[in-house]
Amino acid sequence: MDESISSGIDDVEVKIAFQIDHIDERNRNGWSVLIQGPAHHVSESELSATGADDVDSWAGDSRDHYIRIAPQRVTGRRINRI
């Protein structure tokens, strides 16, 4: 598998976004974080350093393909009294 994710277009770097949120309904607050940047495949040799062995997919099934985001932009917000 290639180290970088390719668009097939010369000089175009694939960038992705990953967002994670949490809402505490009881206390009526929460938070949201968005990370954006170039995406790269995680090689087998890098996999042990990622901690992926301790990750369980909430969607079920096993996962054997991992993507690394090199953060270029990180934004977030706290949500109070929603």
Q: What is the rounded CA–CA span in Å between residue 45 and residue 9?
A: 28
The Cα-based distances of 60 to 20, 56, 57 in angstroms read: 18, 8, 5
- Residue 66: its pLDDT value, please? 83
Residues facing 24 on adjacent strands: 29
- Residue 6: its pLDDT value, please? 67
pLDDT tens digit sequence for 5-18: 766 777 777 789 99
Q: Where are the domains of the chain?
A: 1-50+61-82
pTM over 0.85: no
pLDDT tens digit sequence for 1-59: 445 676 677 777 778 999 999 999 998 999 999 999 988 888 888 887 877 777 777 78
